Structure 1
Amino acid sequence: MSRYLAALAASVLTLPFAAPAVAQEAGSIQVKGFATGVLPNGEIEEVETDLIDLPAGSQTRATDSYVPTIAIEYFIAPNFSLETICCVTPHDVRGAGALAGAELIDDAVILPATVTAKYHFDLGGGFKPYLGAGPTYFLIFGEDVGADAAAFGTTEVDLSDEFGFVLQAGLDVPLNDRGLKLSLDAKRYFVGTTATFTAGDTVALQSEHALDPWVVSAGLAYRF
């Protein structure tokens, strides 16, 4: 998987040198306002410490989140840009499988610090789909012990901050000749976290989780 992601990222980054320039001017800035759905996974990949004897078939999931987001994009070449996003997304972690319905973590907030390099294709008529890839760093804060985790004696929970990778695809469609566009965007993040549940000074449960969210957005863009 890591070799595939690296190859795909390299192909995206070399596209500007393999295709002709389009009408978009270098040095311009595009701002996008989105309605965004963040759809994480959250399943357990590995249990490292278990002093509470999780039942066989225990699993977890992270709840979806729907938030407004802003993207800022700078064109360093006519069809090549760098983009960053601004948003925070709240999530809970609930049990699945043998733990179905259990309230494990409440009010975890993710700040996905992300930069993508994007190549824009010109299909004529201003219709411009794009591909992108780049690094991300998930800052996770605010998490509280859920009611059922507290019943096991848990007094504190922590979700680790982690680096990851993101792939991106989308399209911009002009709505007028003054820079206003309809924008649709989809990202797939590849990033995990370590959940640590403590009881007093003792680590009662520590497990590795795959977050790997899909992030889908629709909104308006303006270039100036």
Structure 2
Amino acid sequence: MKTTILPLAALGIALAVPGHAAAKSGDVQFKLLGTLVAPDGKITSVKKDLIGLPAGTQTKADDNVVPTVAIEYFLTDAISVETIAGVTQHDVDGRGALAGAGLVSNAKIVPATLTLKYHFGKDGGIQPYVGAGPSYYIFIDEKPGATAVALGATRQKMNDKVGAALQAGIDVPINDKGLALSVDVKRYFLRTTAHWYAGPTEVLTTRHKLDPWVISAGAAFRF
């Protein structure tokens, strides 16, 4: 029994930072993070097809790594609200019958997100949390990809869309001044519609599942 208790006690001491207090009601936490955004992007349905998509056509959005900022306000000692700021950019390429085809180029996305979070952990130790909330994906300056242009597309548009996000993460204190390391994982649930135009005529309309994984790591400072 003693051989079990002693390592556990040592682990608890190692995880605690002397003098580091857990968050309190009214605290604000600021995070500067590097973020991997890994969307799906596959077609779930075709609403309009005036160009004759080959059977088996599918799509995939590429991944991107971007800087993001998170700002969090503690409503109570354990409950907080958090929003993030950042812009991510993605291409959408063909799969299956259109493997390698460039369909969407440089679609910039602002993933406006607000989550309500619940924090676990003891005072002075690591602080795991879970959260959930709504998101609103804003698409900016998207363009038809090279293959779509070669087929006559002159314009491309993605619909802005409301979605939802689930969140889990951990803040690990570094010192007694509010500095911590933070790792955060979100899974978004989002559907959007893509439109391709040749001049004024809409020639292709497809529904897509984005559902990105958003994985972040960086520094947090609470004050």
Tell me if both proteins adopt one fold, taking TM over 0.5 as the criterion. Answer: yes
CA contact (8 A) 2:62 2:91 kept: yes
Deviations 1:125-169 (A, max 9, x none): 421100000000000011111110012211111000000000000
Structure 2: how far apart are the matches of 1:106 and 1:198? 14
CA contact (8 A) 2:22 2:122 kept: no
Does residue 1:191 correspond to 2:190, yes or no? yes
Structure 2: how far apart are the matches of 1:42 and 1:207? 11
Runs (4 or more) in structure 1 with deviation over 3 Å come to: none
For structure 2, list consecutive stretches of 5 or more residues without a partner in the other structure.
Answer: 1-20
Higher alpha-carbon deviation: 29-38 or 125-134: 125-134
Structure 2: how far apart are the matches of 1:177 and 1:68? 26
For 2:34, the equivalent position in structure 1 comes to 35
Structure 2: how far apart are the matches of 1:175 and 1:48? 52
* Alignment: residue pair count: 203
Letter in 2 for 1:170: G
Larger radius of gyration: 2
Structure 2: how far apart are the matches of 1:82 and 1:114? 10
For structure 1, list consecutive stretches of 5 or more residues without a partner in the other structure.
Answer: 1-21
Compute the RMSD of aligned alpha carbons. Answer: 1.1
Kindly, what percent of the aligned residue pairs are identical?
55
For 2:143, the equivalent position in structure 1 comes to 144
Letter in 2 for 1:205: L
CA contact (8 A) 2:57 2:97 kept: yes
For 2:121, the equivalent position in structure 1 comes to 122
Matches within 5 A, 1:146-185: 146-185=145-184
Letter in 2 for 1:192: R
Shift of 1:123: 4.3
Structure 2: how far apart are the matches of 1:83 and 1:204? 40
Matches within 5 A, 1:43-62: 43-62=42-61
TM-score (norm 2): 0.89
Structure 2: how far apart are the matches of 1:198 and 1:24? 51
Structure 2: how far apart are the matches of 1:75 and 1:220? 18
**Cα distance, 1:123–1:100 mapped onto 2, change above 3 Å:** farther
TM-score (norm 1): 0.89
For 1:221, the equivalent position in structure 2 comes to 220
Structure 2: how far apart are the matches of 1:157 and 1:222? 41
